[in-house]
Structure 1
Amino acid sequence: MTIAKGSAASPPSLAGWRRRGPLLYFALACAGMWLAMTPLLAGGFQRADARDQPGLLENACISAAMFAPALAALVVLRHVERIGRLRDALALRWPRPRGRAVRSCLLAVAVPAGLTGAALALGTLAGRYPFDGMHGSGLGTWAAEGLAGMLLSLPLFFGEELGWQGYLFPRLLRDGSRAALVRAYLLTGTAFALWHLPTLLMGGQYPGRPWYVSVPAMVISCLLVLPVFSWLRLRSGSVVPAVLGHAFVSTMSVGMVRHFADPDAPLDPLHMGIAGWPGWLVLGAFVAFLALTGRLRPGTTRQA
């Protein structure tokens, strides 16, 4: 593995900014998130039910917020670290060769789908998920529409993952040692969760839950799901599969929870799906498998 050291034009103080750059990135990303959410916070918006769909204003604010990590990364790389080749620095490239790109993208969809299905099955067995059965009628249409919507939303998820997997995670890896690797996963996952704080205060991910429940729950969820995104990024040498995986988790996985549930039963994300304890157990088992088999370590895969 190689970690980019910057261009020849990088200033002599680059090593210092390698340490301070991630802090500045996180501050800018959070500032962008809070700024984007200001209209909702000022209006006292609260999401009360997991079946509630965002309106026009909510969608506009969410979309603006999702570009904040990418913009923060671009500012730090261009004006602080002075790195010239931004696409290489952010791993904004297709995996090569073409067959590998196809396999990586399919894996980025199949793995989250399998993890979500396992989480729903576990929640059903535990009596916490109101499973309504597999109804073939309309299932294909729902899946096709859901995937189409996910693909249309990809620019928003590039806005997030160019920051988290493109910039922050590789910067925290530094020398690629075991200690640096653990630190990179823990710090990136925690930062990823805390970046969501404004939405958590409004019940975004865990409707009806107070902040002292939703914030720790989000930290756990992000610490467990981030290694999956990082694995997709490391094995491909590209941020694109991580973007696809994140898009599936945030759209199709949530849609699966709603689609397969009893339409009259209440939904509590803390007890179902990837964001709840069934998902934590499934994700934990999968991440443990990745770690024990060495798949979470940067190996020969080229990395920006």
Structure 2
Amino acid sequence: MTTAAHQPARARSGVLARYPLTSFFVLAYLLTWLVWSPWVFGRDGAGWLPTSIDPALVGYLNAFAILMGPTVAALVVTAACEGGAGVRRLLARVVRWRVGWMWYLVALVAVPVLAVLGCVVYSGTLPDVAAIGGPAFLLSYVPSFLLVAVLGGPLFEEIGWRGFALPRLQRRMAPAAAALVLGLLWTFWHLPQFFSPSWAEASGGGGPIGIALYTLTVLSFSVVISWIFNNTRASVLIAILVHTSIDAVSTLLPPMFPPGVGSSAVPVIIAFGGAALVLLAVTRGRLGIGRLRAEDA
């Protein structure tokens, strides 16, 4: 539980401190949606921006939108609740790397392999590794992985979702419920992007069915990442690596499998939904919360 030392009297008197979770999500949505709006609402995501805009610039704008949302919201509300000491504790989680080598294997190897297995089960075919350049693809995958981590969103999203929101949700409700609630709120944050046909197509499809499938996907991710987060003493760094692995491997799946398989949300739901159900059953919904120390909870 949050102690008085974590919440100085002066900080606790503000509106943000009295309603930290509500304040965080309102700020995260508002700040991100304001920055997203110029290119989300319009023809194929062009919105009010010129149709000739450099795709790289859109990538930078997307990173800025995410930075302005979950990250800024987390820092602002943490400062209001816990002052500078709380902000330092939050940022310390981002560089918490001493978690055991096994969790790096989970984040960097097991997560991509799980995504591939989902496609194998769904399609009944083995991956065509040659289609992505064989083992040599690692030379291009590493820089791409780092680019996805920054411009794709994981770095700045996870400071908010897991760094700020998840620990507070887990103080209020059971870990399984916290993971699912965060998954729904995480999905809702992404909803404006479904106005962009290209983003919707890359995320499993548009319309109500596409949004429903995307919601199931994010709920599955949220349970898996929550379990890893709790088992690594609230390491935001490992959560960032897991999130990046999920995003990075999604670009490799389409060329390795028959048309429509790698870009479908169904294989992902099979893989990570199955993993989420197993974790919920094995941990009895606690998702490793017992591994957290009092100062990390």
Contact 1:6-1:84 at 8 Å conserved across structures:
no
Distance 2:132 2:208 in 1: 41
For residue 42 of structure 1, report the CA deviation from its aligned partner: 4.8
Could you say if the C-alpha distance between residues 81 and 8 of structure 1 is closer, same or farther in structure 2, counting changes exceeding 3 Å?
Answer: closer
For residue 286 of structure 1, report the CA deviation from its aligned partner: 1.1
Q: Which residue of 2 aligns with 1:194?
A: 188
Q: Does 1:260 align with 2:284?
A: no
Q: Does 1:121 align with 2:120?
A: yes
Q: Which moved more, 1:14-23 or 1:221-230?
A: 14-23
Contact 1:87-1:93 at 8 Å conserved across structures:
no
Higher relative contact order (CA 8 A, sep 6+): 1
For residue 291 of structure 1, report the CA deviation from its aligned partner: 1.9
The amino acid that maps onto 1:140 is P
Q: Which residue of 2 aligns with 1:66?
A: 66
Contact 1:89-1:166 at 8 Å conserved across structures:
yes
Match runs of 1:12-161 below 5 Å: 13=12, 20-46=19-45, 55-67=55-67, 68-82=69-83, 84-89=85-90, 91-96=93-98, 100-125=99-124, 133-135=128-130, 138-155=133-150, 156-161=153-158
Distance 2:261 2:36 in 1: 25
Distance 1:14 1:228 in 2: 36
Contact 2:116-2:253 at 8 Å conserved across structures:
no
Aligned residues: 279
Q: Which moved more, 1:38-47 or 1:75-84?
A: 38-47
The DSSP-based 3-state class of the residue aligned with 2:192 is: helix
For residue 158 of structure 1, report the CA deviation from its aligned partner: 1.8
For residue 39 of structure 1, report the CA deviation from its aligned partner: 2.0
Give me the CA root mean square deviation.
3.0
Deviations 1:87-108 (A, max 9, x none): 4235233243xxx443322221
Q: Does 1:289 align with 2:278?
A: yes
For residue 63 of structure 1, report the CA deviation from its aligned partner: 1.3
Contact 2:119-2:261 at 8 Å conserved across structures:
no
Give structure 1 stretches of 5+ with no counterpart: 48-53
Contact 1:189-1:223 at 8 Å conserved across structures:
yes
Identical counterparts, % of pairs: 22
Q: Which residue of 2 aligns with 1:231?
A: 227
The DSSP-based 3-state class of the residue aligned with 1:174 is: helix
Could you say if the C-alpha distance between residues 137 and 256 of structure 1 is closer, same or farther in structure 2, counting changes exceeding 3 Å?
Answer: closer
Deviations 1:244-274 (A, max 9, x none): 00011112x2122123135xx45673xx3xx
- What is the TM-score with the length of structure 1 in the denominator? 0.80
- What is the TM-score with the length of structure 2 in the denominator? 0.81
Q: Which residue of 1 aligns with 2:214?
A: 218
Structure showing the higher helix proportion among its residues: 2
Could you say if the C-alpha distance between residues 19 and 258 of structure 1 is closer, same or farther in structure 2, counting changes exceeding 3 Å?
Answer: farther
| Deviating 4+ runs (over 6 angstroms) | none
Could you say if the C-alpha distance between residues 15 and 299 of structure 1 is closer, same or farther in structure 2, counting changes exceeding 3 Å?
Answer: farther
Contact 1:28-1:72 at 8 Å conserved across structures:
yes
For residue 40 of structure 1, report the CA deviation from its aligned partner: 0.7
Could you say if the C-alpha distance between residues 150 and 284 of structure 1 is closer, same or farther in structure 2, counting changes exceeding 3 Å?
Answer: same
Deviations 1:72-127 (A, max 9, x none): 1001111355362324235233243xxx44332222112211211111102212xx
The amino acid that maps onto 2:138 is A
The DSSP-based 3-state class of the residue aligned with 1:296 is: coil
Contact 2:108-2:242 at 8 Å conserved across structures:
yes
Q: Which residue of 1 aligns with 2:50?
A: none
Q: Which moved more, 1:106-115 or 1:84-93?
A: 84-93
